[in-house]
Copies of this chain bind each other. A is one copy, B any other.
Amino acid sequence: MLNQQGLTEEEFLEQYNANHYERPSVTVDMLIFTIGSQQKENYRKLSKKTLQLLLIKRGEHPYMNQWALPGGFVSINESIDDAAIRELKEETNVDNIYMEQLYTWGDVGRDPRTRVISCSYMALVNREKIELHASTNATDAKWFDMSYTITEEKVNEDKKEKLVQLQLTSGTEHLSAIIKITELPNKTIREIISSEDIAFDHAKMIFYAVERLQNKIEYTDVAFQLMPPQFTLTELQQVYEIILNKQLLSAAFRRKIAHLVTETNEYTKNAGHRPSQLFRFNKQ
């Protein structure tokens, strides 16, 4: 079949000039979440759980010495999924992990070096599987405890506005950002109001991921990706609670997730209180 210039498809592709337009760079950025636990207050109490995110200290301009999401350029002969898998493997030395594409960030000025479009991915890992590898141009990689508060919420007839204060801590390191989310009838706008030691527009990406995780945990079984093979129902509930950022009633929670778990014959030991039965994920 010939086109209007009388070329076959083969001829057309041969003369096609791929560099006709100036092209943006494309990167992937990884939101790697895990569950961390803090020290027990005393021998009886359970340890508190936190939602943790992996960040890397930038060793180069721009945003030198600030913390950024692990990520990198998508090379020309690699799918974006493969780039994400590669970055995950480089940073955490794990593969075959739950991973999901989240959103693609394409504002013009988001990287001062050049036009960069960035596709963000979320990965959920069980902490026990991981050993960190500091990569080439990062002086450091660390897990940060995440928390946030919604400081202000305005609702008009056709505008919903909220301010989110995001906090990330790891030892003495303390990062924070304020994000403004405006929901108009047609679209949602996310702006960074301030960003302390978080590089680029990564604060936006982080909160976007948290919102997605909150949604997903309600109607899928993603939470189990964060769990070890065996766990108590209270541990599972803690994970739901930190992700949803609210307390749950244990009786209702147990009913709700009953069909997702199978009991084992094992129990926790030396807990300082009644032992707890261990369960496994019951895939369906």
Does residue A275 face the partner (Cβ distance < 8 Å to B)?
no
Q: Which residues of chain A (102-149) have a CB below 8 Å from chain B?
A: 103-104, 106-108, 112-115, 117, 119
Contacts of A284 in B (CB 8 A): 155
Q: Which residues of chain A (248-283) have a CB below 8 Å from chain B?
A: 283
Given A26-B23, A61-B12, A112-B13, A80 and B117 touching (CB < 8 A)? yes
Across the interface, do A75 and B21 meet the contact criterion of CB distance under 8 Å?
Answer: yes
Query: Number of A residues contacting the other chain (C-beta, 8 Å)?
Result: 57
Does residue A185 face the partner (Cβ distance < 8 Å to B)?
yes
Q: Beta-carbon contacts of A4-21 to B below 8 Å, as 1s and 0s? A: 100111001100101001
Across the interface, do B117 and A74 meet the contact criterion of CB distance under 8 Å?
Answer: yes
Given A26-B23, A74-B24, A74-B117, A103 and B101 touching (CB < 8 A)? yes
Interface of A is mostly: loop
A residues engaging B (CB < 8 A)?
Answer: 1, 3-4, 7-9, 12-13, 16, 18, 21-26, 59-62, 64-65, 73-81, 83, 96-101, 103-104, 106-108, 112-115, 117, 119, 155, 157-158, 185-187, 283-284
Shortest beta-carbon contacts, A-B, top 3: A80-B106, A18-B114, A12-B61
